[in-house]
Amino acid sequence: MRRRRLLARLRRDRAGVTVVEFALVAPVFLLLLMGTFEIGHMAYANAVLSGAVEQAARTATIEAGDIAAADARVEDTIRMVVPDAKFAATRKSYFDFKDINRPEQWNDVNGNGDCDNDENFVDENGNGQWDADIGTGGNGGANDVVLYKVTVDYQPIFPIPFVGEQTLTATAVKKNQPFANQESYGTDAGACE
């Protein structure tokens, strides 16, 4: 009888229910809150990176443009937002906008989409081999089109389970100013291996 009264009293007692409910809801709420903050931080860092890359690409289009200084400004700018960022920048120059990511011309005899089996090609970028991308490394010369790409890897500021290193990428395409005569495509022929 005494046990029944004790169990009935315990069933009616609501003291401590709030603490239990909070213990169940708080981790989920905090995880959602940290996730929201991390997404906001990532969006802000991406906007800062995109702006810095556009500015660096613009300043590198002039004849006296200092590429190393432009890269350093981008890196300094992103480190204000993401202090532990790993920074990597690449530039590829092309003769014209239509050449971006275009392979060198070749006679695809076997129709497999690869330059192989002694198929003939035109060495348009002058490096002595067939390339799937006609671009050459660096900032190019007068009137060349430059594809500038920056990649930033970093650990999230707000620790979220199962979320590792984040990667941001920004790309800018600009045409160098016509400070001299532009070189033309190469015309040497070669054979694919």
Sequence-distant (6+) residues with CB within 8 A of 59 are 65, 66, 70
Q: Mind listing the pLDDT tens digit for each residue in 128-163?
A: 888 889 999 999 888 999 999 999 999 988 877 778
pTM of the model: 0.78
Question: What's the angle, vertex CA 106, arms to CA 104 and CA 110, rounded to 5?
Answer: 135
What mean pLDDT, rounded, does the chain reach? 88
Alpha carbon of 37 to those of 3, 96, 157, 170: distances in Å?
A: 50, 42, 9, 21
Residue 8 has what pLDDT?
A: 80
Residue pair 59/71 in contact (Cβ under 8 Å)? The answer is no
Alpha carbon of 145 to those of 30, 92, 162: distances in Å?
A: 47, 8, 41
Residue 179 has what pLDDT?
A: 77
Residue pair 115/154 in contact (Cβ under 8 Å)? The answer is no
Q: Mind listing the pLDDT tens digit for each residue in 34-56?
A: 889 999 999 999 999 999 999 99
Q: Mind listing the pLDDT tens digit for each residue in 154-172?
A: 998 887 777 889 999 999 9
CA distance 26 to 15: 19
**DSSP secondary structure string, 98-139?**
GGTTPPPPB--TT-SSS--TT-EEEETTSSSS--SS--EES-
Residue 97 has what pLDDT?
A: 93
